[in-house]
Amino acid sequence: MQTRELLELAALTSCHGPLLILTAGIVPTPALDQYWTTSKCRLDRWGRALKGIGQHPASLNLSQQPAMAENAYATLEEILLSEVLTRVWTAVLVGYDKSRGTQGAELIARSVYAGHLEARHRAMKLLVEGPGVNSHEALALNRVRRRAEYWSDLLVGYVAAVADVSEFAVDPHRAAEFAAYFRAGDGADGGGGQRWSLTLATLRTAFRQGIRGFSPNGDSNAQISASILACFPVDLFDGTGQFASLWVHRLMSSTADVEVRLAELFAAEDKPATRPGFPPIDAAPLQGHRRFSGGELDPRD
């Protein structure tokens, strides 16, 4: 599973996360276990890759080590882009537990989140301080980081409209502004499906250029995505068929998941689920800039 698909799943998770938080649905324990186990496996892979890059800094120099540089760049890009999904899913699980007065899902989510932030810190340190890093590659990755940060804050902000989870944004203040914007626009019109389509199209456009897209850990990304999708209601994928096969794969791997989802399916036949919409972002308020190596950044890049 490539990094672009992880970004789309982050948007899907943000769009439907409030449904999981506000309804009586149950997050399957096997899905949470798989999320934690596979995420830890991916973190270990990243750790080994980052150690290798640190020991051989020229590996990021395309002119000297083309093949090695591509893999190193892809690893750093994967860490930065997949962080969007990690932040959003952590926000959803924490909101889920807060609404129920529990802690099981939150503890798992925070553990993975902390590990991902550590990997991000190590990756950024390599770019800023590592000798032999190609300046062109470093600048390209910095642009990736800026876009990922903006989308993290926007998508976490949508979840924060129904739960106090702004802490999982890169800029909590900006996420709180997005949350206020989404709350103000909630229920303004009935075009939820259209708003979701617009948001997904905007995200795809934002990351159409400037990213390699290759993922060194496509297998882990697929398992992590499947574990997240298994936590949502069975009818969620009527309009998002690109993720249906992952959900079915994860569902069929666990008898417990099958029992839970069959119950939801029968309940859905009696009362169709209502899906929350996702507001457009064109008019979303933007405030605050972030710095990288002393330069002022535009959060919309």
| Predicted confidence (pLDDT) per residue in 58-91, tens digit | 555 555 566 677 788 899 999 999 999 999 999 9
Spatial CA neighbour of 75 closest among 106, 94, 52: 52
Is residue 217's pLDDT more than 60? yes
How many other CB atoms are there within 10 angstroms of residue 274's CB atom? Answer: 8
Distance CA 159, CA 80 (A): 20
Q: Cα angle at 77 between 278 and 177, to 5 degrees?
A: 35
What pLDDT sits at residue 281? 39
- Residue carrying structure tokens 């938080």: 21
70/96: higher pLDDT: 96
Q: How many CB atoms lie within 10 A of CB 293?
A: 9
Report residue 295 as tokens: 């330069």
275 touches 16 (CB < 8 A): yes
Most confident option among 173-177, 207-211, 253-257: 173-177
Q: Beta partners for 291?
A: 296
- Burial 207-244, CB ≥16 within 10 A → b, else e: beeebeeebbbeebbbbbbbbbbbbbbbebbeebeebe
At 142, which amino acid appears?
Answer: N
